[in-house]
Amino acid sequence: MGAGDRSPVANAGDPVGKYATYHPLVRTSGRRVLLSRLARDGFLGLSLGFLALRLLNVQPWDQSVDAYSYWITHTGPMYGTKLAGAMGAYLYSPAFAQLLTPVTWLPWPLFSSLWTALNLALVWFLLGRWSLPAMLFLPIPFEIVSGNVHLLYAAAIVVGFRWAGTWALPLITKVTPGVGVLWFLARREWRQLALALGLTAALVAVSWLLNPQAWREWVGILTGSSSTPISLGPYVPVALAWRLPIAIALALAAGLFNRAWLIPVAVVVAMPIIWLNSLAVLAACVPLSGASGSMAARFAIGSRPSTAASVMPTRAPATG
C-alpha cells in the first residue's frame, strides 16, 4: 500500500485513518448527511413560517376550508350545510365531530394552527427527509392549506398494519375509504379485522347515545349524497358507484399478493369525491413500498412477510 493511498482502512502509516475523510465513499456519505440536514431544516423553517401566518391570522393564509368545517360544528346545527364543497359543510359522522369537541372551542387562529401543525407533523412522520421535496407534489401542500383528513388517512393506513384500530378514522368520516380493511379479510387476519370493526362500532354506539338526532340527519345525508360537488375545485368526475368495485378489487389484491402500497391507492379510488388533495393519501405508498428515511417506515415492516421461509433458499437433503 503506497504512502499516498487515501483508503479509509487504517494501515501502518495511517493507524487512525486520518486520510479517511478524503475517500470518495466518505465524501459521498458526508454530502448525503449535509443534504439530509438541509432538507430537514428547510422543511422545519417552512413549517414554522406557515404556522406563524396561521397563528397571526394573516390573510389569505388564515383560511382553511375543511378545517373550518370541523371547527364550526360547535357553534350550531352540525349539518346546517349539506352540499359537498360548500364553505362550512360538515359531512362526516357525528362521532368525528364529538371527538374534536374539546379543541373546537379554541379560537379559530389557534385551532387552525394546531390542525396545520398536525398535518405538517404527519408529512414528516410519513416522508422524513423527503418532506421538503414532497411539497412539489401539489396534493400535499393543498392538503395542508385546506386542512382535510387525507394525511391523517395516510398515517392511519401505515400504522394500521400494526394496530388495525386506526381504520376507525376513515370509517367514521368518509366511510367508503374504509375499504382498506379488506386487506385483513384477504389475509384471514380475523383478530385485526375484528379490532378495526369493533372499535368503529364502539365509537358509533357511544356517539349515537350522545346525539341520536345528529345520526339520523347524517344517515339522511348519506342516502341523498352525490359524487358531484358544488365547488369548482379540481376533482375526478367519475361516480363512486363505478370506482368502488375497483377499490374493493385493489384492496383484496393487495392482501392476497402482499402489496401493501396498493392499499393507499384503493383508499383514494374509494373516496366519495376524489379531490386534488385526496391524492395526499398516496404519501403512505412511500414507507409501504420499502423506502427508508421516515418514522413511518418502521410501522410498514408489519405489512411485509416475516417468515424466513419466504426468503431462505431450499436445499436438497444430503445423500450418501
Concatenated DSSP letters for 48-108? HHHHHHHHTT-TTTT--HHHHHHHGGGSS-TTS--STTSTT---S-HHHHHHHHHHHTS-H
Instruction: Report how far apart, in Å, the C-alpha atoms of 10 and of each of 7, 242, 318 are.
Output: 8, 65, 43
Q: What is the pLDDT of residue 13?
A: 53
Identify the pLDDT of residue 221: 84
The reported pLDDT for the residue numbered 286 is 93
What pLDDT does 315 receive? 42
Instruction: Pick the closest to residue 103 from 90, 95, 112 (CA basis).
Output: 112
Give the type of residue at 210.
L
Q: Could you tell me the three cell numbers for 164?
A: 388495525
User: What are the boundaries of each domain within the chain?
Assistant: 36-303
pLDDT of 29 reads: 65
Specify the pTM.
Answer: 0.83
pLDDT score of 317 = 43
Low-confidence ranges of the chain (pLDDT < 70): 1-30, 32, 82-88, 225-232, 292-293, 299-320
**Length of the chain in residues, anyone?**
320
The one-letter amino acid code at 6 reads R
Q: What is the pLDDT of residue 120?
A: 97
